[in-house]
Amino acid sequence: MTRYTPQNACELAQHQEEALPPIQEQRDLLFLKQQQEEAQRWRERQLQDRGRQAEQQLEHERQFHAKLQEELQRQEELQREEVARREREREEKQEKERKVQELVGQERLKLTSPEALHGLRDLIRTRYKLDMEIWSLKGVRKPDRPIVEEKMEMADAILMEIYAVVETWEENDKIWTPQEWVLAREVKERLLAGGKRWWKNNPPWNET
């Protein structure tokens, strides 16, 4: 057993002072290692956060593009429907116009049929007969004028019917031969020419 002496105490103190630097160095190394590990963990967390942010950004972009694509498809579908609707309307309009033209053509054929032409001749004869009767009664007494006015109304109605027939006449090789159209045009021009008397508001007793 070592006996304690002042000299031994000095040696022990010196020995402890010599042992301190290695212990402090170990502590410093440990602290540095802890800092490095903490820094590494922080970098790893940063990388993870950036990775999650990148994934979220990619997901947002994917959703945005998906919605944009859906909207584009919807707009294209609406455009296709609009084009189809306009096409249907155009076809329906053309079909209506075609039917109207067919009806007009049928009516014209009726008005230019042999029966219609025969009826036109009868109308012209009837109109001429009424005109002669009306002129012959221009000196009738006032109490008897309603009888003449009735004939005047009939004459005007017949003239309107004659005009309705001939106004539909047009050059058409399905209806007329070239020779027939020449005659029909001449008749039409004569019948539609001025000089026809409308008896309404123009009675014969106004003539001097």
Question: How many structural domains is the chain composed of?
Answer: 2
Tokens of 195: 């000089």
CA distance 140 to 147: 10
* pLDDT tens for each residue of 64-119: 888 888 888 888 888 888 888 888 888 888 888 877 766 655 555 555 566 667 78
CB 117 within 8 A of CB 177: no
User: Same domain for 170 and 88?
Assistant: no
CB 110 within 8 A of CB 116: yes
pLDDT, position 9 = 54
pLDDT < 70: residue spans in the chain: 1-22, 101-116, 173-174, 207-208
Last residue of a domain, one of 76, 109, 142: 109
165 Cβ partners below 8 Å, 6+ apart? 111, 116, 120, 123
User: Same domain for 80 and 160?
Assistant: no
pLDDT, position 11 = 60
User: Same domain for 102 and 1?
Assistant: yes
CB 155 within 8 A of CB 123: no
User: Same domain for 98 and 123?
Assistant: no
Closest CA to 159 of 130, 133, 184: 130
User: Same domain for 99 and 173?
Assistant: no
Helix ranges (DSSP H) in the chain: 6-111, 114-136, 145-166, 178-192
109 Cβ partners below 8 Å, 6+ apart? 175
Closest CA to 137 of 152, 123, 158, 122: 152
User: Same domain for 151 and 173?
Assistant: yes
pLDDT, position 110 = 55
DSSP state of 49: H
CA distance 142 to 156: 21
186: left (phi over 0), alpha (psi -120 to 50) or beta: alpha
Q: Which domain holds residue 41?
A: 1-109
pLDDT, position 21 = 55
CA distance 135 to 156: 14
User: Same domain for 124 and 103?
Assistant: no
pLDDT, position 146 = 92
pLDDT, position 33 = 82
pLDDT, position 17 = 53
